[in-house]
Amino acid sequence: QAVDTGTGTSEYSGTVTLGTTASASGGYDLIDGGRGGHKTYDLNGGTSGTGTLFHDADDTWGDGTPANRQTAGVDAAYGAAVTWDFYKSAFNRNGIAGDGRAAYSRVHYGNAYVNAFWDDSCFCMTYGDGQNNVKPLTSLDVAGHEMSHGLTAATAGLRYTRESGGLNEATSDIFGTSVEFFAGNSSDPGDYLIGEKIDINGNGTPLRYMDKPSKDGSSADYWSRNVGRLDVHNSSGVANHFFYLLSEGSGAKTINGVSYNSPTYDGSTVTGIGRAKADQIWYKALTTYFTSSTNYAGARTATLQAASDLYGAGGTEYNAVAAAWKAVNVN
């Protein structure tokens, strides 16, 4: 079986290259041989098993519309590939578990299913087709989000409840966002919004906002005693906001044409250190210091230790971590 490079027309990311594999029986399979052999399957409305592996005669996949069933497969395969490349480039990590093993992706789950999910028992991620089956949940940030649940499961193992669950969700939003920036795709440029391509609210607004999480109507901007009682997709706001402040700083800023205005709990001003360093700090904390029960206070300690390890105690980066946690009321 030969490793090939196909061309895909995605719904959200324009024309992309895909890792494919020439099939012994002719044509090509959607198997990314350069990235552990990641496979992408068509569930064709099913909700279990793997359905059928995507296959194509001429290695030209999808047409950018949801009516073509390959299109969601193109987006999903591209998202998994970019996430794989981001882990390698940013962290020198070989796949989700660090051992070179590929996950797999399944698209067209159920009928008009408006969600996507990682399942650690199959080491796989799955995508519904969204409202009216026209907005599959296969955008870059969502793919990076789901795949990063695998990363968290393989490392810290943050329990999916209370504050540790919020940190688990935030880790997926943080790296999903970093994947989107890393891709540098002109059809889906990097932003600090989650799910801005999939129109989950039906009015063009994103699912979540990292600069000011409360803009979604449900998420927490700041830590409070009861934040762990929120749904994990809302208690995540505290860490998403921390990561935004650490990367970009407080106040008004426009990035790739999107305007942000990030507040602080105490009116303090935070100066960002850039997303690349913030990624390093979060990754080191996740993979070295977080445990299954880490809460927000523990995340503060862990990220300060990570910043100290990477950039020195009491340095600019260390002080920025302290300032960003203070700005979200984690002390």
Q: Please report which helix (H) or strand (E) contains residue 247, including its range.
A: helix 237-248
| Range 157-186, binding Zn ion (CB under 5 A) | 172
Distance, in Å, from the CA atom of 42 to the CA atom of 118, rounded to the nearest integer, reads 16
Those residues whose C-beta lies under 8 Å from the C-beta of residue 101, and which sit 6 or more positions away, are: 36, 95, 123
Minimum CB–partner distance for residue 189 and Ca ion (Å):
9
User: Residues touching Ca ion: how many (CB under 5 A)?
Assistant: 4
Q: Which of the choices Zn ion, Ca ion, ligand ASN, none does residue 248 contact, using the CB cut-off of 5 to 8 A by kind?
A: none
Q: CB of 226 within 8 A of CB of 295?
A: no
Residue 87 CB partners (closer than 8 Å, separation 6+): 93, 94, 95, 96, 151
Interaction partner, residue 191 (Zn ion, ligand ASN, Ca ion, none; CB < 5-8 Å by kind): Ca ion
Reference 204, options 192, 194, 196, 212; nearest CA is: 196
CA 164 to each of CA 172, 175, 232, 325: distance values in angstroms, whole numbers, following the listed order: 13, 17, 8, 16
Which of the residues 298 through 327 are near Zn ion (CB under 5 A)? none
Six token digits for residue 11: 């719904």
Stretch that binds ligand ASN, among 13-21, 114-122, 216-224, 253-261 (CB under 6 A): 114-122
Residue tagged 């440029």 (tokens): 189
Catalytic residue at 163? no
Nearest to Ca ion of 183, 270 (CB atom): 183
Binding mask 150-179 for ligand ASN (x = CB under 6 A): -------------------x----------
Interface with Ca ion, residue 141, by CB under 5 A? yes
224 binds ligand ASN (CB under 6 A): no
DSSP assignment of 176-191: HHHHHHHHT-TTS---
- 91 near ligand ASN, judged by CB under 6 A: no
Q: How far is the CB of 142 from ligand ASN (least distance, A)?
A: 7
Please report how close the Cβ of residue 194 comes to ligand ASN at its closest, in angstroms: 10
What are the structure tokens assigned to 28, written together? Answer: 């090509």
Binding to ligand ASN, residues 262-281 (CB under 6 A): none
Decide if 146 is catalytic.
yes
Among 4, 146, 191, 211, binds Ca ion (CB under 5 A): 191
Q: Which does 32 bind (CB under 5 to 8 A by kind): Zn ion, Ca ion, ligand ASN, none?
A: none
Q: Using alpha carbons only, give the angle 84, 182, 91 rounded to the nearest 5 degrees.
A: 50
Angle at 14 between CA 74 and CA 177, to 5 degrees: 80
Angstrom distance (rounded) from CA 80 to CA 150: 12
- Give the C-alpha separation, 178 to 171, whole Å: 10
Residue placing its CB nearer to ligand ASN in the complex, 89 or 161: 161
Among 102, 116, 124, 143, binds ligand ASN (CB under 6 A): 116
Residues of this chain, 129-158, that bind Zn ion according to CB under 5 A: none
Q: Which of 60, 68, 94, 115 binds ligand ASN (CB under 6 A)?
A: 115
Name which position in 72, 193, 207, 278 contacts Ca ion (CB under 5 A). 193
CA–CA separation, 97 and 117 (whole Å): 17
The residue from 38, 108, 149, 233 that is catalytic is: 233
| Residue positions annotated with a catalytic role | 146, 233
The binding site for Zn ion (CB under 5 A) comprises 172
Task: Give the residues lining the site for ligand ASN (CB under 6 A).
Answer: 115-117, 145-146, 149, 169
